[in-house]
Chain A
């Protein structure tokens, strides 16, 4: 160890001497000092902000595994005296976690697949299969992006209500397939940018080798746009998972367990559950007004809801960052 440090220092000293000879002592020192100061300031800011992001998550985790007695104990900071899974069990019960998780996963996954199909096809058409009037259609893509969802919320509900599709997952699926789901316009836009950046030669080579339009799309263009598929897939999955607006509008809470919806009505669910356990209604409502209890349950519930995404993020985090950079969305 010590010899390692010694050789490192010796090498550094040699390098420094060489630099000083080339540039002059003053420049070299000021260059080094600036470099060190910049890196200190940068790491201060970057890791400070990392702390700001991670702090609430860590706190949620700690609050979820702490024994209820330790929560209000001022002597306990961060590391509880006794770990317990009581709150997690309780919150899982209130959120109806198992069915909720399955429903939410089915919903998000289905929406992801349908969004990928529709928006990649549409994006490809906008980029490579131009016909007269397609620019007007593309203008409408941009228009769907800037219209706030609340403007079309009520008629949307009426349309699906008339078809008898509210409070089923199919309403969300239909919206995704028709390219009108959560931020679908942005996804079409991303695919168009990516397909537009693919060279024309690819298409010509495919044509010479006897590919029709669909085969060109399927065999040549799709594999080349894989980064866009990753980006759009991830975003549509995550946004659908976290969405409250469309889900609350189109899927009634009572009929279908969706985690995000259950999480927004924790205190009502608490009253309901206490009543089911045979607690008197007034008492149940009183208990559900205890902010510390409701808060801890809501906190644990939020953790439970984001847990699958967090675990998934650990694995796909690399693709997530790289793919957005490689899509050339901005190029």
Chain B
């Protein structure tokens, strides 16, 4: 290929096209992602004052003077430096932030193992051949299509309708009786509550684990079949070969699935509502600092998860 009249090698051509191919993404990274994350960091460390559309430069600089301290104009807003005050406010002064944050973290912590185990089991079951497995697959990935916050919000308004249609007294009573039975059987109250909560949110668990099932299913199908044949010849039954072959071979995907599950929960987390409502009230500083605290905790959780998993994960290549 020729460039500016000079011949270039294939290797150089590859580099040029590599940069060219990446250019939209790099532009996005620098001008959208980095600039947004830098702004967000600055917002979290300052009080944000908005400039009305018709303010002159002189007025703006006078306003900055009047603030005293360290203030500057950045991308359409005036930032008054307050250091870590916003973080202090979020953690120690705000009424509900701590509780909602803990709720969000607990939700991740509870949902993570449930979703991983559930999706692995479903993937194993869907992988076997049985009558109607095409139908079952189609149904299991339906929630991927229809899982939407908008629909969840809409349906949360429709609970009375569902109750009316379900003749609610009976179903609640049935569930209640079963709980009483478990309590009688000697299980502790907290375990029973946990179990009944899990069972009650089975629909949510299914609808949040569509992609995870797909990942596991793909992982299971990429296991070479000669491993199973060898195990069968050695006399292993399918239960044994699940624990000795499927589990280790699938374990790297547990990492992928776990991280995906955490990421997927971001927008659904209860903290999102709080952060966006503060933004709507133009309290950008508080909102940004809360978002950063949430980010730090999420990174921590992902780190812990990877750390724990790295002890268990088995890599076939090594």
Contact = CB atoms under 8 A, between A and B. Distances in A.
A50 B154 contact: no
Nearest to B11: A131
A213 B16 CA distance: 9
A144 B25 CA distance: 11
B158 A178 contact: no
Interface stretch (B59-67, B91-99, B178-186, B287-295): B287-295
A118 B25 contact: yes
A155 B35 contact: yes
Contact of A175 (B10, B32, B167): B32
Contacts, number: 302
B32 A151 contact: no
B24 A179 contact: yes
Contact of B149 (A63, A177, A242): A242
A144 to B, nearest CB: 6
A148 B298 contact: yes
A296 to B, nearest CB: 5
Given A213-B17, A238-B145, A330 B161 contact: no
Contact of A292 (B149, B161, B259): B161
A321 B158 contact: no
B266 interface: yes
Interface stretch (A11-19, A273-281, A298-306): A298-306
Interface in A267-312: 267, 291-292, 294-296, 298-299, 301-302, 305-306, 309-310
A188 B25 CA distance: 10
A158 B157 contact: no
Interface string A92-122: 0000000000000000000000000111011
Interface string A157-172: 1110110000000000
A42 B128 contact: yes
Interface stretch (B80-88, B211-219, B226-234): B211-219
A194 B153 CA distance: 36
B148 interface: yes
A63 B18 CA distance: 54
State which size class the interface on B falls in. Answer: 35 or more
Q: Classify the secondary structure of A's interface with B.
A: helix
Given A121-B22, A147-B37, A131 B266 contact: no
Contacts of B31: 178
B206 interface: yes
Contacts of A328: 218, 222
B253 to A, nearest CB: 5
A154 B161 contact: no
A212 interface: yes
B109 interface: no
A54 B203 CA distance: 10
B28 A179 contact: yes
Contact of A330 (B139, B145, B219, B284): B219
A223 interface: no
B6 to A, nearest CB: 15
Contacts of B155: 56, 298-299, 302
Interface in B145-166: 145-151, 153-155, 157-162, 164-165
A156 B36 contact: yes
Contacts of B39: 154-155, 158-159
Contacts of A36: none
13 contacts: A43-B132, A46-B130, A129-B14, A140-B33, A148-B266, A151-B292, A153-B276, A159-B35, A175-B28, A261-B150, A317-B138, A320-B141, A324-B218
Interface of B: 1, 10, 13-15, 17-19, 21-22, 24-29, 31-33, 35-40, 43, 75-77, 122, 125-126, 128, 130, 132, 135-151, 153-155, 157-162, 164-165, 167, 202-203, 206-207, 214-215, 217-219, 221-222, 252-253, 256, 259-260, 263, 266-267, 271-272, 275-276, 279, 284, 287-288, 291-292, 294-295, 298-299, 302
9 A-B pairs closest in CB distance: A178-B28, A129-B18, A242-B148, A155-B39, A295-B158, A179-B25, A260-B150, A298-B154, A125-B21
